[in-house]
Amino acid sequence: MPYSNWHNKAAVAWAAVLLLAAIALASMWWQGKLHIQSDIFRLLPQQQQQAEVSAAKAHMNQWLNRQLFVMVSAPSEAELQRSSAAIAQRFAASPLWQAPQATIDTQALGKTLFAHKAGLLSADDVALLKQQQYDALSDAALLQLASPAMPISDALLEQDPLLLFPRYVLGLQATSDSDIQLQDGYPSRELNGRYYRLLSVPLPQSPFNIDYQQQTAPWLAQLQQDYPSDSAQTAVHMTGTLLYASAGTDSARSEVSTIGVGSTLGIILLVWFGFKSFRPLFTEFAAVSSGCMMAMLVTHTLFGEVHLMTTVFGASLIGASVDFSFYYLFMQTHQRERSGWQVMHSMLPDLFIGLLTTLAAYVCLLLTPFPGLRQIAVFSMTGLSAAWLTSMLMLPYLKALDTRRAQHHLHFLARGREHFLAHRSWRIAVVVISVLFAALLLPRLHSNDDVHSLQAANAHWQQQEQQIRTVFGQQHSTQFFVVSGTDEAATAANESALLTRLQALQTDGHIGQIQALGLALPSIAVQEQQRQLLQNIPTEVLTRYAEQVGIPTDKVLAWQQNLPKQALLSPQDLQQHPAYLLRVNDHTRLVLVQNIRDSAAMSALAHSMPHTFWVQPAQDLSQLFQTYRLESTGRLLWGLAALALLLACVYGWRSVFGLIAPVSLALLSTFALQAAFGVEVNIFSIMAAFLVLGIGVDYAIFYRHTAKRTPVVSYALFLCMLASILGFGLLALSHTQAIRVFGLTVLLGVVFSYFYANILTLPAATADAKDEPHE
């Protein structure tokens, strides 16, 4: 037979390609070059922003993501001291962690500040100096000298005769949270009879590294087992990106396993029900396995990594190749007088058009700005094409199977289709009712573009994080100002102007705590001004003060004369201070604001000031999601029009309605039903609609070529629909909203596509009698 030899050669060539792909993939895995990514935000598009804002976001993410926050609590201060030291040593002794870092070394900081004290003054002293109330300044120093709570040494009086530095330090302490103290460099406090301490543990690796997650998970589980969070003695609570990323990885793996096992079991049952044989399972396993393997290799080669979320979506989407296999196997049972390859040859145009329409939907995903969706598109297009090719080359080797049992149980499908095809008024009624149903419910459809829907919430870690926030407050804000300048001095000046405005809002109660480097470090210009104020103190004032205190006048005057020689405090001198983390570089700084009542007011404030930006990462991404959802909805309509044009070119304009109407009504009914049950749509709902467009139109294409084969096509496509339900239906049970709405949309769309194609798509008027089997 002319086709058989060609088919055998093609099968051998394709097997060789798969073997080479398997070797390449195994080599990458063996060499440790196979990178599976789990960072959920790598799925998102890169926003076009100012360089300062982009650098600030990257700095903020690096700062927060590479930390594990551990809160230790105990019934007594002594027990807290002992337990926190033991836990800190436990972290330091493990190669999985870096040693916990003290928030600040108070002694070292004190020495640094004292060495640069010439430009550091309390706000009260600055006010007195500006008003030239020198006697009041002297009285403040005399009051300190008389206080037994503040012993003053002769050395301190010689270096700081007016005792300006102690008052500056007291001013710093007054601006901090009086309930939270630094003990051994760590934030500590007492609350409701228990004592708490917060440790910050740096991570030596990325929290999104899956191998690192696997290594740290049992270690942390053992720590919590030793110090249960509900213990009346020493208890430990933890939070950090590592914990949420690890939980997300476990959730994704569990869902991948559920989808894989559920789909496999379901397909096994479908194959036995439809063909009374397990032989097709071998071809299905080979097709899906080859598809996944080729998809993994090509995707990793193009992107340098494969995201875990891609495997969740892609593994199920590749299973769409089962549709083509079921369709072929049912057709083969009704053409037993032909060889398998002859049957395949007669069906190949329809199967190929079905593949192209599905791939066309993935092309729409490929054109989106979402890296994750582009990766899913490449994975699915490659995998589906490879699985389709494997099926087409292997299926003709199978002998015709027995489908009589399936036909006996599914005979009602063919009867229903025949009744609708015989009554045009029924078909019109279905269309009218469906359109009215959609018109009534679609206005109730709501959207949810919140970026947090990307990742499943983990109740355990959320509870632990909330407990830490309850004790220590909002330690880090996800909203912040970015202040820039041409150099360090200009940046500090711009920051100072912003802080002046923010402190006024803080005084009025509109915002809470402010965190900024400028609050711990006055700018060089401000320090120079304050040093000049000290140099402006009249000599007679200093002489009179020296006589009152009883110290040599020449030493006090020498102190004033030496002021210009003393170094001022620079950012580099405060590298160990927590506020230094708010310095991105010499021309960019961050200002964190907490307990904001009106975020819009913060945005307006930033717009009113030069070189100042208000950044809300989560809100900005959510807004981006909304923008792309609206744009993608328009693309969906254009895609529907493009598909209609493609089908018109292949089948003629008279066939377009019967091919496009089913999938169009399916999409309307899908979103109308979601509106009826309060399901909120997002960008992933629209992306799923693209896939419904590609998969659903296949049903209409296959029905168009039924003619005398109407019953068997109905049976085959019903089993195809059930296979899709198993794959996408399980996605709809995901804990992650993005996966859930994606799966639910495809699930409903596929079901409706089958239903409408079954009753609306007419067989081709010019069926080729030669290809029709005799009943």
Domain residue extents for the chain: 2-33+256-403+414-448+620-771
Query: What would the pLDDT profile of 54-111 be if each residue is shown by its tens digit?
Result: 777 777 777 777 889 999 999 998 999 999 999 999 999 999 998 887 766 677 778 8
Among residues 258, 256, 212, 160, the alpha carbon closest in space to that of 39 is found at 212
Q: How confident is the model at residue 237 (pLDDT cuts 50, 70, 90)?
A: very high
| Angstrom distance (rounded) from CA 335 to CA 312 | 38
Task: Locate all alpha helices (DSSP H) within 423-512, ordered by sequence.
Answer: 424-441, 459-472, 488-507
| Angstrom distance (rounded) from CA 242 to CA 143 | 52
The amino acid occupying position 91 is: F
The three-state secondary structure class of 402 is coil
| Angstrom distance (rounded) from CA 592 to CA 347 | 65
Statement: residue 641 has pLDDT above 80 = yes
| Angstrom distance (rounded) from CA 273 to CA 330 | 12
- What is the average pLDDT value for the chain, to the nearest integer? 82
Question: Would you list the DSSP string of 282-341?
Answer: HHHHHHHHHHHHHHHHHHHHHHSSEEHHHHHHHHHHHTTHHHHHHHHHHHHHT-TTS-HH
Q: Which token pair is 40?
A: 């959920």
The predicted pLDDT at position 40 comes to 60
| Angstrom distance (rounded) from CA 311 to CA 380 | 9
Half-sphere exposure of 87 (CA within 13 A, CB side): 31
| Angstrom distance (rounded) from CA 295 to CA 313 | 12
State percent of the chain over pLDDT 90: 15
Give backbone dihedrals phi and psi of 587, rounded to 5 degrees, phi first. Answer: -130, 20
- 2-33+256-403+414-448+620-771 folds as Multidrug efflux transporter AcrB transmembrane fold (1.20.1640)
The predicted pLDDT at position 433 comes to 93
| Angstrom distance (rounded) from CA 170 to CA 147 | 14
Statement: residue 423 has pLDDT above 90 = no
| pTM score above 0.85 | no
Supply the Cα-derived Rg of the chain in whole angstroms: 36
Average pLDDT of the residues in 181-192:
82
β-pairing, 306-307 vs 36-37, is parallel
The predicted pLDDT at position 244 comes to 85
The predicted pLDDT at position 697 comes to 87
| Angstrom distance (rounded) from CA 353 to CA 359 | 10
| Angstrom distance (rounded) from CA 575 to CA 580 | 6
Kindly list the distances between the CA atom of residue 234 and the CA atoms of 57, 79, 462, in Å, as whole numbers in the listed order.
36, 8, 20
Q: How confident is the model at residue 225 (pLDDT cuts 50, 70, 90)?
A: very high
**Inter-residue contact 661 to 760 (CB < 8 Å):** yes
| Angstrom distance (rounded) from CA 666 to CA 659 | 12
More confident call, 436 vs 587: 436
**Which run of H or of E encompasses 186?**
strand 186-191
Among residues 224, 256, 258, the alpha carbon closest in space to that of 238 is found at 224
Average pLDDT of the residues in 539-559:
87
| Angstrom distance (rounded) from CA 295 to CA 139 | 80
**Inter-residue contact 47 to 620 (CB < 8 Å):** yes
Give backbone dihedrals phi and psi of 35, rounded to 5 degrees, phi first. Answer: -105, 115
Q: Spell out the residues 6+ positions from residue 92 whose beta carbon is closer than 8 angstroms to its own.
A: 98, 99, 100
The predicted pLDDT at position 767 comes to 35
Statement: residue 544 has pLDDT above 60 = yes
| Angstrom distance (rounded) from CA 343 to CA 745 | 34
Instruction: Cite the beta strand spans of 454-601 per DSSP E.
Output: 480-484, 514-516, 583-585, 588-593
Average pLDDT of the residues in 392-401:
82
**Inter-residue contact 104 to 111 (CB < 8 Å):** no
Instruction: Cite the beta strand spans of 192-313 per DSSP E.
Output: 194-202, 235-239, 306-307
Q: What share of the chain is helix, strand, coil (3-state, %, to 5)?
A: 70, 10, 25
The three-state secondary structure class of 756 is helix
> 71, exposed or middle or buried, with CB in 10 Å at 0-12, 13-18, 19+?
buried
Statement: residue 534 has pLDDT above 80 = yes
Statement: residue 668 has pLDDT above 90 = yes
CA 711 to chain CA centroid, nearest Å: 47
| Angstrom distance (rounded) from CA 529 to CA 547 | 28
Question: Which segment of 1-10, 250-259, 407-416, 496-505 scores lowest on mean pLDDT?
Answer: 1-10
| Angstrom distance (rounded) from CA 134 to CA 541 | 7
> 131, exposed or middle or buried, with CB in 10 Å at 0-12, 13-18, 19+?
exposed
> 497, exposed or middle or buried, with CB in 10 Å at 0-12, 13-18, 19+?
middle
| Angstrom distance (rounded) from CA 170 to CA 165 | 9
The amino acid occupying position 15 is: A
Query: What would the pLDDT profile of 100-145 be if each residue is shown by its tens digit?
Result: 877 666 777 788 888 888 888 888 889 999 999 988 888 888 888 8
CA 694 to chain CA centroid, nearest Å: 27
Give backbone dihedrals phi and psi of 213, rounded to 5 degrees, phi first. Answer: -60, -45
Kindly list the distances between the CA atom of residue 17 and the CA atoms of 285, 386, 390, in Å, as whole numbers in the listed order.
17, 10, 11
3-state SS of 77-130 is HHHHHHHHHHHHHHHHHCCCCCCCECCCCHHHHHHHHHHCHHHCCCHHHHHHHH
